[in-house]
């Protein structure tokens, strides 16, 4: 029996980011949107820097720039002025307003301020000359960036979705995945002949082409008109096992408009992807297109070929809960032994989800830790002699200390090139992950060996 981690007071080297950052990312995935933080300007600057260093793309976040005076007397005037300035210069279709710890602590009533602002704008609102305004409460002292992300998605659905006409579209809430993942999801939907409303869709807005004509707000993102008719879609698919146990946008759309919801795990690895494809088959009433079946076949072939390199290897996996659940599902399939599954998040459903995805294969559930930081993670993992780390860049120091490979996935990745193009999802994503993991282990073997293996 392993001892439980010491109950530390400090969070040392956190394995989570703050809530409004997640909200800003989600807002960025909606067409013509400027994310707006109600608080003092530092939070916006910090988050922009973090997001930009991962995606290597522009990322604007406006701020109401509160000073001490406003911190004491409230930020209403600043928020209104800020909205007006963003409108004047950006031609935004939507402004996504997230609160910060500052404005949550002083208790600014943002929905009320936004209502008052709309009223003051009067005519302009009716003529739709002003952008839609969506607001979400994101105090970081409860929850992580993932909760912020999901809260923003839900707020968008809550404040914009409607039922204008019944359509054959499918709402897809992918969660926080890479632009490469999103492009691939779109391809799958298209191959199924499904029209998808993907909320949010960062595939173009945070991985855009070098522009010839620069645009202030990058093109792409979920079209607002489509969001406005999410209530008319034939179904909603939501990715993420822990997510499905909380209040989500999908549930809201189901309750309000009767759109049936399918909650599935993040489709990482064979089994979770099978589940996802099954749902699509069900919704569309057609079998999985040949192209994807072939990809599945090749994946299984690779599972067999790669097995000798990865079998029984001991891995530590960390990151956002649903990502870790998906990765764990995949790792156990290929024969890797996840000795520790860890997350900075604390949804309360993490262990259960890990159990669900491992019980067919493992006799015992791997060690699961929620709400951890890297200090605890290191302490815990030290005794487990891991041979591989799977997670984002913040685990690099541990990889270095233990002299084991780190296969980078998720966010943030700021010590490698191309983080936004990492494919995690589906048969194809599993193929990529498998290749990368096998090669990382081979490289390590070569590096450690005096023999100089040329064939391996």
Partner 1 sequence: MSSICEEKLNLEEETEGVDPEVLKKELLEKYPTKVARKRAKQIVVNKLASCSEGLEIGANVRTTPGIITQRGCTYAGCKGVILGPTRDIVNITHGPIGCGFYSWLTRRNQTRPPTENDENFMTYCFSTDMQDKDIVFGGEKKLKAAIQEAYDLFKPKAISIFSTCPVGLIGDDVHAVAREMREALGINVFGFSCEGYKGVSQSAGHHIANNGIFTHVVGLDDSVKEGKYKINLLGEYNIGGDAFEIDRVLEKCGITVVSTFSGNSTYDQFANAHTADLNTVMCHRSINYVAEMMEEKFGIPWIKINFIGAEATAKSLRKIAHYFQDQELSDRVEAVIAEEMPEILKVREEVRPRCQGKTAMLFVGGSRAHHYQELFKEMGMKTISAGYEFAHRDDYEGRKVLPTIKVDADSRNIEELEVTPDPERFRPRKSPEELERLAQEGFEFKDYEGMMRDMDNQALVIDDISQYETEKLLEIYKPSIFCAGIKEKYVVQKQGIPLKQLHSYDYGGPYAGFKGAVNFYQEIDRMVNSKVWNSLKAPWQKSPELSAKYACD
Residues numbered 93 to 112 that lie near partner 1 (CB under 8 A) are 100-102, 105-106
The interface region with partner 1, picked from 59-67, 157-165, 244-252, 307-315 by CB under 8 A, is 59-67
Q: How far is the CB of 298 from ligand SF4 (least distance, A)?
A: 43
21 lies in the site for partner 1, by CB under 8 A: yes
d(CA 25, CA 145): 9
Q: Which does 159 bind (CB under 5 to 8 A by kind): partner 1, ligand SF4, none?
A: none
> What number of other Cβ atoms are within 10 A of residue 438's Cβ?
21
Cite the DSSP H helix spans in 258-289: 269-284
Q: Which does 455 bind (CB under 5 to 8 A by kind): partner 1, ligand SF4, none?
A: none
Strand partners, 33: 94
**Terminal-to-terminal C-alpha distance of the chain:** 37
Number of residues that bind partner 1 (CB under 8 A): 71
34 touches 98 (CB < 8 A): no
Q: In whole angstroms, how far apart are CA 162 and each of 31, 114, 165, 286?
A: 17, 20, 9, 28
Q: Which does 144 bind (CB under 5 to 8 A by kind): ligand SF4, partner 1, none?
A: partner 1
d(CA 362, CA 335): 10
71 lies in the site for partner 1, by CB under 8 A: yes
Q: How far is the CB of 144 from partner 1 (least distance, A)?
A: 8
82 lies in the site for partner 1, by CB under 8 A: yes
Residue 9 CB burial class (10 angstroms; 0-12, 13-18, ≥19) = exposed
For ligand SF4, which is the closer residue by CB, 24 or 194?
24
The interface region with partner 1, picked from 45-53, 153-161, 242-250, 448-456 by CB under 8 A, is 45-53
81 lies in the site for partner 1, by CB under 8 A: yes
Q: Which does 388 bind (CB under 5 to 8 A by kind): partner 1, ligand SF4, none?
A: none
For ligand SF4, which is the closer residue by CB, 26 or 434?
26
Residue 378, SS3 per DSSP: helix
69 lies in the site for partner 1, by CB under 8 A: yes
Residue 333 CB burial class (10 angstroms; 0-12, 13-18, ≥19) = buried
Residue 210: asked if its preceding bond is cis (omega within 30°), the reply is no
Biggest alpha carbon distance in the chain? 78
In this structure, what DSSP letter does residue 114 have? H
* Binder of partner 1 out of 5, 74, 208, 289 (CB under 8 A): 208
202 lies in the site for partner 1, by CB under 8 A: no
365 lies in the site for partner 1, by CB under 8 A: no
Residue 292, SS3 per DSSP: helix
Cite the DSSP H helix spans in 122-178: 123-126, 145-160
Q: How far is the CB of 55 from partner 1 (least distance, A)?
A: 8
Q: Which does 105 bind (CB under 5 to 8 A by kind): ligand SF4, partner 1, none?
A: partner 1
In this structure, what DSSP letter does residue 30 have? B
74 lies in the site for partner 1, by CB under 8 A: no
* Binder of partner 1 out of 4, 10, 127, 403 (CB under 8 A): 10
262 touches 238 (CB < 8 A): yes
Residues in the site for ligand SF4, rule: CB under 6 A?
18, 20, 40, 42-43, 46, 100-102, 140
205 lies in the site for partner 1, by CB under 8 A: no
Per-residue binding letters, 141-180, with partner 1 (x by CB under 8 A): xx-x------------------------------------
For partner 1, which is the closer residue by CB, 40 or 343?
40
Q: Which does 294 bind (CB under 5 to 8 A by kind): partner 1, ligand SF4, none?
A: none
- Note the Cα 267 to chain centre separation in Å: 13
371-430 residues in contact with partner 1 (CB under 8 A) are 397
* Binder of partner 1 out of 1, 127, 214, 454 (CB under 8 A): 214
Rg, the chain, Cα only:
22
> What number of other Cβ atoms are within 10 A of residue 120's Cβ?
11
264 lies in the site for partner 1, by CB under 8 A: no
d(CA 62, CA 365): 44
Sheet holding 314-318, edge to edge: 367-369, 337-342, 314-318, 388-391, 406-408
For ligand SF4, which is the closer residue by CB, 46 or 375?
46
For partner 1, which is the closer residue by CB, 84 or 159?
84
For ligand SF4, which is the closer residue by CB, 40 or 337?
40
289-321 as b/e: b if 16+ CB within 10 A? beebeebbeebeebbeebeebbeebbbbbbbbb
* Residue sitting closest to ligand SF4 (CB): 42
Q: Which does 65 bind (CB under 5 to 8 A by kind): ligand SF4, partner 1, none?
A: partner 1
């Amino acid at each position: 029996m392993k001892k439980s981690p010491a109950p530390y007071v400090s969070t040392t080297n956190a394995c989570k980011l703050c809530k409004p950052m997640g909200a800003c990312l989600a807002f960025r995935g909606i067409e013509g949107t400027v994310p707006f933080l109600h608080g003092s300007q530092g939070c916006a600057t910090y988050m922009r820097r973090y997001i930009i260093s991962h995606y290597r793309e522009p990322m604007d976040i406006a701020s109401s720039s509160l000073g001490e005076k406003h911190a004491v007397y409230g930020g209403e005037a600043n928020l209104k002025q800020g909205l007006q300035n963003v409108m004047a210069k950006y031609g935004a279709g939507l402004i996504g307003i997230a609160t910060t710890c500052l404005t949550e602590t002083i208790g600014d009533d943002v929905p009320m301020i936004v209502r008052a602002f709309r009223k003051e704008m009067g005519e302009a609102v009716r003529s739709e000359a002003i952008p839609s305004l969506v607001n979400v409460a994101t105090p970081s002292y409860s929850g992580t960036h993932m909760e912020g992300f999901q809260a923003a998605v839900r707020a968008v659905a809550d404040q914009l979705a409607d039922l204008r006409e019944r359509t054959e579209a499918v709402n897809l809430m992918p969660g926080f995945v890479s632009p490469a993942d999103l492009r691939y999801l779109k391809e799958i939907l298209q191959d199924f002949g499904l029209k998808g409303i993907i909320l949010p869709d960062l595939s173009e807005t945070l991985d855009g082409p070098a522009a010839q004509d620069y645009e202030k707000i990058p093109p792409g993102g979920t079209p607002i008109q489509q969001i406005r008719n999410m209530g008319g879609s034939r179904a909603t698919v939501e990715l993420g096992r822990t997510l499905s146990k909380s209040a989500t946008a999908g549930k809201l759309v189901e309750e309000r408009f009767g759109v049936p919801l399918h909650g599935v795990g993040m489709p990482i690895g064979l089994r979770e992807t099978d589940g996802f494809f099954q749902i699509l088959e069900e919704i569309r009433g057609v079998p999985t297109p040949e192209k994807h079946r072939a990809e599945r076949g090749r994946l299984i072939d690779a599972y067999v070929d790669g097995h000798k390199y990865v079998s029984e290897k001991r891995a530590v996996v960390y990151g956002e809960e649903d990502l870790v659940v998906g990765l764990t599902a995949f790792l156990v399939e290929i024969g890797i032994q996840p000795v520790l599954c860890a997350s900075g998040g604390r949804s309360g459903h993490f262990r259960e989800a890990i159990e669900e995805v491992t019980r067919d294969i493992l006799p015992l559930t791997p060690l699961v830790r929620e709400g951890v930081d890297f200090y605890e993670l290191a302490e815990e993992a030290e005794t487990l002699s891991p041979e591989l780390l799977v997670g984002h860049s913040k685990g690099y120091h541990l990889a270095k200390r233990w002299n084991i490979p780190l296969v980078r996935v998720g966010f943030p990745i700021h010590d490698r090139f191309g983080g936004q193009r990492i494919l995690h999802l589906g048969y194809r994503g599993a193929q990529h992950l498998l290749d990368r993991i096998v090669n990382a282990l081979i490289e390590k073997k070569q590096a450690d060996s005096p023999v100089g293996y040329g064939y391996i």
